[in-house]
């Protein structure tokens, strides 16, 4: 076993503090990744604070992991020592069910092994995430990262990147599609960059007037202030696709009013509370209200290659792990531009 320095929460009420975990010895198909950076996702906060229920403690969060491969098992083919690699939200799945065979491991019928706050497929061994110095993962769930990229900004692609890329592809966002992105945080800023790179006409829908200039710099063509009711009137029936990344409770009906006939609103944000939706918001325009969860491993690789080809990385504020509790408080206030990326050197 490999002793590994980490940061963990011991309960839903405790802050994150130093902790040590044991990683398994490298098996035939495993790679050992020395972690360089790990992005901080709002899902880390939801789970550390047990806002969705069922959290497992101690919890080492982190599912936006990048680093260098330092050891490989005898039968590993995809990666070699010295390669850059990433790990996202999953570390395994059953590999046999229908979704797994169709590259949709996130919907594995047995439940994928999540990178943290979960178990390996033996359903016993707890998983620990990327707020740590190293991780051991089966090569099938490791992603290849091209050399020469800014690793601090690549880390958030492993969750925020794929979570926004996948629905843009699935709902066929393309040149000229009118896309509204709700909430300018980690996911939101990636959605803007990606949709703009695909030629979509992007409108940023935000509660923060102070983010307008950034939204435009990131690629948004228009900005709508959602704390002003006039915005909902002005943009009624406007969008082919709305990507909703809000992490807290809000009124879905209001946003559905901005979807056009046959358009869709896709929920990515997971507020802790359920929310009512009026049937009239959907039937008067044959609209869809849908959701999307990260993306499969093949699509995650496709997204990383797409971003490398288009020069897309996340905008990050690099922090030492010692600032993680403060970073959570800032994220909850919407005060992050636009993703924290933990420098794993601070853990060593």
- Provide φ and ψ at 91, rounded to 5°: -120, -5
Which helix (H) or strand (E) covers residue 42, if one does?
Answer: helix 42-48
Judged by CB under 6 A, the stretch of 16-24, 136-144, 181-189, 231-239 that binds ligand NAP is 181-189
Is residue 159 close enough to count as binding ligand NAP by CB under 6 A?
yes
Judged by CB under 6 A, the stretch of 118-126, 192-200, 204-212, 305-313 that binds ligand NAP is 204-212
Is residue 186 close enough to count as binding ligand NAP by CB under 6 A?
yes
List the interface residues with Zn ion, window 19-58 (CB under 5 A).
41, 43
Helices 186-197 + 160-170 axis angle, to 10: 40
- Nearer residue to ligand NAP within complex by CB, 42 or 238: 42
Q: What is the CA radius of gyration of the chain?
A: 20
Q: How far is the CB of 3 from ligand NAP (least distance, A)?
A: 30
List the interface residues with Zn ion, window 205-244 (CB under 5 A).
none
- Nearer residue to Zn ion within complex by CB, 72 or 266: 266
* First and final C-alpha spacing in the chain: 18
What is the distance between the alpha carbons of residues 225 and 230, in angstroms, rounded to a whole number?
9
Is residue 331 close enough to count as binding ligand NAP by CB under 6 A?
yes
Is residue 248 close enough to count as binding ligand NAP by CB under 6 A?
yes
User: At a CB cut-off of 8 Å and minimum separation 6, what does 37 contact?
Assistant: 65, 66, 67, 151, 152, 154, 155, 318, 341, 342, 343, 344
Is residue 219 close enough to count as binding ligand NAP by CB under 6 A?
no
List the interface residues with ligand NAP, window 277-306 (CB under 6 A).
292-294
Q: Which does 268 bind (CB under 5 to 8 A by kind): Zn ion, ligand NAP, none?
A: ligand NAP
Helices 160-170 + 297-310 axis angle, to 10: 100
Is residue 187 close enough to count as binding ligand NAP by CB under 6 A?
yes
Total residues contacting ligand NAP by CB under 6 A comes to: 30
Judged by CB under 6 A, the stretch of 13-21, 41-49, 142-150, 305-313 that binds ligand NAP is 41-49
Is residue 246 close enough to count as binding ligand NAP by CB under 6 A?
yes
Instruction: Identify which of 39, 13, 167, 187 has the alpha carbon closest to the alpha carbon of residue 115.
Output: 39
Judged by CB under 6 A, the stretch of 27-35, 39-47, 116-124, 144-152 that binds ligand NAP is 39-47
Is residue 184 close enough to count as binding ligand NAP by CB under 6 A?
yes
Q: Which does 93 bind (CB under 5 to 8 A by kind): ligand NAP, Zn ion, none?
A: Zn ion
Query: Got the DSSP string for 67-124?
Result: EEEEEE-TT--S--TT-EEEE-SEEE--S-SHHHHTT-GGG-TT--EESSSSB-TTSS
In this chain, which of 33, 100, 142, 267 binds Zn ion, going by CB under 5 A? 100
Is residue 220 close enough to count as binding ligand NAP by CB under 6 A?
no
In this chain, which of 16, 19, 42, 132 binds ligand NAP, going by CB under 6 A? 42
Query: CA of 176: how far to CAs of 196, 199, 290, in Å?
Result: 10, 6, 21
In this chain, which of 49, 140, 250, 337 binds ligand NAP, going by CB under 6 A? 250
- Residues 296, 167: contact at Cβ < 8 Å? no
Instruction: Write the DSSP symbol of residue 237.
Output: T
With vertex at residue 327, the alpha carbon angle to CA 311 and CA 334, rounded to the nearest 5 degrees, is 75
Is residue 270 close enough to count as binding ligand NAP by CB under 6 A?
yes
- Nearer residue to ligand NAP within complex by CB, 73 or 334: 334
Query: Cβ-closest residue to ligand NAP?
Result: 185
Is residue 70 close enough to count as binding ligand NAP by CB under 6 A?
no
Q: Which does 97 bind (CB under 5 to 8 A by kind): Zn ion, ligand NAP, none?
A: Zn ion
Query: Got the DSSP string for 151-208?
Result: HHHHGGGGTHHHHHHHHHHHTT--TT-EEEEE--SHHHHHHHHHHHHTT-EEEEEES-
Binding site for Zn ion (CB under 5 A): 41, 43, 93-94, 97, 100, 108, 159
């Amino acid at each position: 076993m490999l002793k590994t320095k980490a940061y963990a929460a011991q309960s839903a009420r405790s802050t994150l503090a130093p902790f040590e975990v044991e990683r398994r010895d490298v098996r035939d198909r495993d790679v050992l990744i020395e972690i360089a950076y790990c992005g901080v996702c709002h899902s880390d906060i939801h789970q550390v604070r047990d806002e969705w229920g069922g959290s497992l403690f101690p919890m080492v969060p982190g599912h936006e992991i990048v680093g260098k491969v330092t050891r490989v098992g005898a039968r590993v083919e995809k990666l070699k020592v010295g390669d850059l690699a990433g790990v996202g939200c999953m570390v395994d799945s059953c590999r046999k069910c229908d979704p797994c065979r169709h590259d949709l491991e996130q919907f594995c019928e047995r439940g994928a092994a999540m990178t943290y706050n979960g178990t390996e497929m033996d359903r016993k061994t707890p998983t620990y995430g990327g707020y740590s110095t190293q991780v051991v993962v089966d090569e099938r769930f490791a992603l290849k990262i091209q050399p020469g990229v800014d690793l601090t900004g690549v880390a958030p692609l492993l969750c925020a990147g794929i979570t926004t890329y996948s629905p843009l592809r699935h709902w066929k966002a393309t040149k000229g599609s009118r896309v509204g992105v709700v909430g300018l945080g980690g996911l939101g800023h990636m959605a803007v960059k990606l949709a703009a790179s695909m030629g979509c006409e992007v409108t940023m829908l935000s509660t923060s007037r102070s983010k307008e200039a950034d939204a435009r710099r990131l690629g948004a063509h228009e900005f709508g202030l959602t704390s002003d009711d006039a915005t909902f009137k002005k943009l009624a029936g406007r969008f082919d696709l709305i990507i909703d990344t809000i992490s807290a409770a809000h009124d879905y009906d209001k946003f559905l009013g901005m979807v056009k006939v046959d358009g869709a609103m896709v929920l990515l944000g997971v507020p802790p509370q359920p929310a009512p939706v009026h049937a009239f918001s959907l039937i008067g325009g044959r609209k869809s209200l849908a959701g999307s969860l990260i993306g499969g491993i093949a699509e995650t690789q496709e997204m990383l290659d797409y971003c490398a080809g288009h020069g897309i990385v996340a905008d990050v504020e690099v922090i030492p792990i010692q600032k993680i509790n403060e970073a959570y408080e800032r994220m909850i206030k919407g005060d992050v531009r636009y993703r924290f990326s933990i420098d794993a050197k601070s853990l060593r």
